[in-house]
């Protein structure tokens, strides 16, 4: 008898409770990843997120081969594939890390009706059902949630298993990977556990030469030109890093901080991990968070031309277009840029956040339903713990504040590469002769703004205020 280790959002050997659990049931563990045809059909086959996934699977396969095993990848309907695999490998159990998205829960529930699927652990640090208000209902406001989270975290022993090493026995059946790993580029994110561990180490552990970026996170995280964020999200999204290890790294960084200011910086990043848990539990308790507003009804305009301009990064607002193009070209976007482009779509263009949510999910290598729905609803002012409806980002002010020299803009919007600093945030102000001098004619080389922000702001206040 063997046991199937069904890998989903836990593409790692380090600190994998499902793998440890699986190895308790049988001497032979069969590592399996199933490309879900229901999800695959919806995805652009050239999307970076697929490239990153394939390469991460490939990296896991390499690690498994070093241990005398290998990864079996199938494409199809999970329940059918699992049934085939159980027959082929004479398995009597399937073990997987639990997942709390509505789709995963429905799928797993259906599978459990006919197959012995055992779910353990969670992709969040705390299980979504484990942090509740005194009356047993879920939190819908972040601040009290985070207080409770932090209190519970004091008792949490953040220990993780380095590697389960020789626990994996040989599985000598060889299957071919039926997806091409070479069609996809993964750009900035190096796949696999080793790269993920290196990045986590770089971000959280200081060396003699330099202080770890986490100790400056509070001050620099919003700067688009400095790019001092952790860049861990794609690894966290696929479970290439375990949530326990993230928690332990943060704790260690707090212990290692040399002063109050450093500790405060680390706590801001810790807060981001708590936001992630918060939105995972929101989606768990309110499964329609992705399809309907948590609060408020907005009369969207949903103009198709406007949406298209936004999608391709041709709104005429450099900071908005830079963000979108970073997403298109790298599969990732700086967090500050995400807020700016999201505010522009929902408030300036009055386009339903669901369009933006869907677009982000298609493009982002770190696209996670819970965080994405939560973030979009927050910006749109329709969410659980939403930004007030009148909080409308001014793309010019944001640009000046967080990309003062236009370095980020010039990197992603090459049409503007010669535009000098005084005009970089609002190039339409350039006189015609300067447009010629800088090889950037507004209206042909680079678009005119598709909407006037001051007009758009008033319109948004009306649309939001009258609901």
Partner DNA sequence: TGAAATGTTGGGGCG
Partner DNA sequence: ACGCCCCAACATTTC
Catalog residues that contact DNA under the rule CB under 7 A.
Answer: 271-272, 275, 335-336, 339, 387-388, 390-394, 397-398, 401, 453-454, 457, 461, 465
Calpha distance 346→353 (Å, rounded): 6
Of 367, 152, 392, the C-alpha closest to 279 is 367
Calpha distance 138→131 (Å, rounded): 7
- DSSP codes of every residue in 6-37: EESS---STT-HHHHHHHHH-SEEEEEEEEEH
Of the listed 5, 269, 275, 310, which one is catalytic? 275
Of the listed 5, 6, 376, 378, which one is catalytic? 376
Closest distance of CB 40 from DNA, Å = 31
Of 6, 3, 10, 54, the C-alpha closest to 242 is 10
Closest distance of CB 72 from DNA, Å = 38
Report the length, in residues, of the chain: 467
Closest distance of CB 14 from DNA, Å = 27
Catalytic (active site) residue 394: no
Closest distance of CB 394 from DNA, Å = 4
Q: DSSP secondary-structure letter at 52? A: H
Token look-up 């009306």 returns 462
Catalytic (active site) residue 6: no
Q: Is the Cβ of residue 263 or residue 457 nearer to DNA in the bound state?
A: 457
Catalytic (active site) residue 376: yes
Query: How are strands ordered across the β-sheet holding 117-120?
Result: 72-76, 28-36, 2-7, 91-97, 117-120
Calpha distance 237→123 (Å, rounded): 8
Closest distance of CB 51 from DNA, Å = 27
Of the listed 219, 256, 300, 434, which one is catalytic? 300
Catalytic (active site) residue 310: no
Q: Is the Cβ of residue 148 or residue 197 nearer to DNA in the bound state?
A: 148
Catalytic (active site) residue 300: yes
Of the listed 149, 310, 332, 353, which one is catalytic? 353
Q: Is the Cβ of residue 99 or residue 348 nearer to DNA in the bound state?
A: 348
Q: Is the Cβ of residue 164 or residue 461 nearer to DNA in the bound state?
A: 461
Do residues 276 and 236 make contact, with C-beta atoms less than 8 angstroms apart? yes
Q: Is the Cβ of residue 60 or residue 387 nearer to DNA in the bound state?
A: 387
Q: List, in sequence order, every beta strand (DSSP E) within 121-270.
A: none
Of the listed 148, 251, 335, 394, which one is catalytic? 335
Q: Catalytic amino acids?
A: 272, 275, 300, 335, 353, 376
């Amino acid at each position: 008898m063997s046991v199937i280790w069904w890998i989903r959002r836990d593409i790692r050997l380090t600190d994998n409770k499902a793998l440890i659990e699986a190895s308790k049931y049988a001497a032979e563990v069969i590592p399996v990843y199933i490309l879900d045809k229901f999800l695959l059909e919806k995805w652009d086959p050239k999307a970076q997120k697929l490239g990153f996934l394939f390469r991460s699977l490939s990296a896991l396969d390499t690690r498994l081969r070093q241990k005398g095993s290998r990864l079996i990848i199938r494409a199809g309907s999970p329940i059918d594939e699992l049934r085939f695999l159980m027959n082929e490998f004479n398995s009597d159990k399937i073990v997987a890390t639990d997942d709390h998205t509505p789709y995963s829960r429905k799928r797993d529930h259906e599978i459990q009706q006919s197959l012995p699927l055992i779910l353990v652990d969670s992709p969040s640090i705390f299980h979504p059902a484990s942090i509740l208000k005194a009356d047993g209902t879920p939190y819908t406001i972040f601040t009290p949630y985070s207080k409770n989270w932090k209190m519970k975290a004091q008792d949490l022993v953040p220990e993780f298993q380095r590697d389960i090493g020789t626990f994996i026995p040989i599985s000598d059946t060889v299957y071919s990977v039926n997806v091409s790993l070479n069609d996809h580029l993964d750009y900035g994110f190096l796949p696999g556990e080793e790269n993920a561990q290196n990045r986590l180490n770089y971000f959280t552990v200081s060396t003699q030469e330099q202080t770890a970026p986490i100790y400056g996170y509070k001050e620099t995280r919003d700067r688009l030109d400095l790019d001092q964020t952790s860049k861990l999200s794609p690894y966290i999204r696929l479970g290439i890093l375990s949530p326990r290890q993230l928690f332990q790294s943060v704790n260690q960084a707090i212990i290692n901080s040399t002063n109050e200011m450093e500790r405060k910086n680390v706590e801001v990043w810790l807060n981001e991990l708590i936001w992630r848990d918060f939105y995972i539990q929101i989606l768990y308790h309110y499964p329609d968070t992705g399809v309907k507003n948590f609060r408020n009804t907005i009369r969207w305009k949903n103009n198709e031309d406007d949406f298209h301009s936004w999608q391709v990064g041709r709104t005429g607002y450099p900071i908005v277009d830079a963000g979108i193009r970073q997403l298109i070209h790298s599969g990732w976007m700086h967090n500050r840029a995400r807020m700016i482009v999201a505010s522009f779509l929902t408030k300036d263009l009055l386009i339903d956040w669901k369009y933006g949510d869907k677009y982000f999910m298609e493009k982002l290598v770190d696209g996670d339903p819970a965080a994405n729905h939560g973030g979009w609803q927050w910006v749109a002012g329709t969410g659980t713990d939403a930004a007030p409806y009148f909080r409308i980002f001014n793309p010019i002010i944001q640009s000046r504040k967080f990309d003062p020299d236009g370095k980020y803009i010039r990197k992603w919007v090459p049409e503007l590469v010669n535009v000098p600093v005084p005009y970089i945030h609002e190039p339409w102000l350039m006189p015609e002769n300067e447009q010629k001098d800088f090889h950037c004619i507004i209206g042909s080389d680079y678009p005119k703004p598709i909407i006037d922000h001051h007009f758009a702001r008033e319109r948004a206040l009306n649309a939001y205020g009258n609901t």
